[in-house]
Amino acid sequence: MFMSCGGSEERVLPKIGVISSGRGENLRHILKAVQSGYLKARVVIVLANQPDAGALQIAREYGVASEFIDPAGSSRQEYDQILLERLGIANVDLVVLTGYMRLLSPAFISRYKNRILNIHPALLPSFKGVDAFSQALQYGVCWTGTTIHIVDEDMDSGPIVYQVPVPVRPDDTRETLKARIQRTEYRAYPRAIKMFLEGRPRLEGRRLLIDRPDTVL
């Protein structure tokens, strides 16, 4: 999917751009997976819309280029155009969202169509939007979990790449359930990215099928 043209046998690693609003712990685990060789890819840029986003500090710890881009005074389209310019300069192949709290514009999604991944703390299509932990508790489900999906024009609605269930315990609070789901996320996101990059992702309707190639990146 991300192989270069030409006759060179040199392995070309896909370039990942990360966009974040928050703590960035999923980014840390993605970078650990890259560092260990589990993920055959490079994180080349981290962008954030909050000046104190933990993802910026984590990127600096790992020597990854990072930048806070202030959304103040910009429309969604104008802001996304700035993001696209930064990602384009970095020659990004795949965009990964980690706790990014803004909806991407249609122009952004079109530019990276089927190459934007997001993680959501529930088993989609259940409990879309904010505070999925409280939603699950209020609904009284026995299971929730985490979902990695392709981003499309609607909120938390794109084709599903990978899901991991998490049990809801009778004595769970919002915080205990959140902590357990987040621990699951740290393993699930690198695995989903690996599946996506090393396979041949194709869509049949809403269903994402990932074929394993004869040789992987």
State how far the Cα of 152 lies from the Cα of 161, in Å rounded to an integer.
13
Which of 25-29, 62-66, 134-138, 200-204 comes out lowest in average pLDDT?
200-204
Residue 10: band (very low, low, confident or very high) from pLDDT cuts 50, 70, 90 = very low
State how far the Cα of 108 lies from the Cα of 5, in Å rounded to an integer.
25
The structural domains of the chain, with segments of one domain joined by +, span 15-201
* Identity of the residue numbered 215: T
pLDDT value of position 30: 98
Local structure of 89: helix, strand or coil: helix
* 117, 93 contact by CB (below 8 A): no
Q: Tell me the pLDDT tens digit for each residue of 186-214.
A: 999 999 999 999 988 888 888 998 887 54
What backbone phi and psi angles, to 5 degrees, belong to 76? -60, -40
Higher pLDDT, 213 or 47: 47
Mean pLDDT of 56-85: 97
pLDDT value of position 176: 98
Residue 106: band (very low, low, confident or very high) from pLDDT cuts 50, 70, 90 = very high
* 10, 86 contact by CB (below 8 A): no
Q: Tell me the pLDDT tens digit for each residue of 127-157.
A: 999 999 999 999 999 999 999 999 999 999 9
Q: What is the CATH number of domain 15-201?
A: 3.40.50.170
Residue 11: band (very low, low, confident or very high) from pLDDT cuts 50, 70, 90 = low
pLDDT value of position 204: 87
Q: Is 41 exposed, middle or buried (0-12, 13-18, 19+ CB in 10 A)?
A: buried
Give the pairing type, strands 42-48 and 15-20. parallel
Provide the strand spans (E) within 38-151: 42-48, 66-68, 94-98, 116-120, 143-150
Q: Is 149 a catalytic residue?
A: no
Which residues lie closer than 8 Å to 69 by C-beta, 6 or more apart? 47, 48, 49, 79, 82, 83, 86
**Which ranges of 90-210 would DSSP assign to H, the alpha helix?**
106-111, 132-139, 174-198
Query: Over the chain, what is the mean pLDDT?
Result: 92
Pick the catalytic residue from 28, 111, 115, 120: 120
Residue 5: band (very low, low, confident or very high) from pLDDT cuts 50, 70, 90 = very low
pTM score > 0.75 for this model?
yes
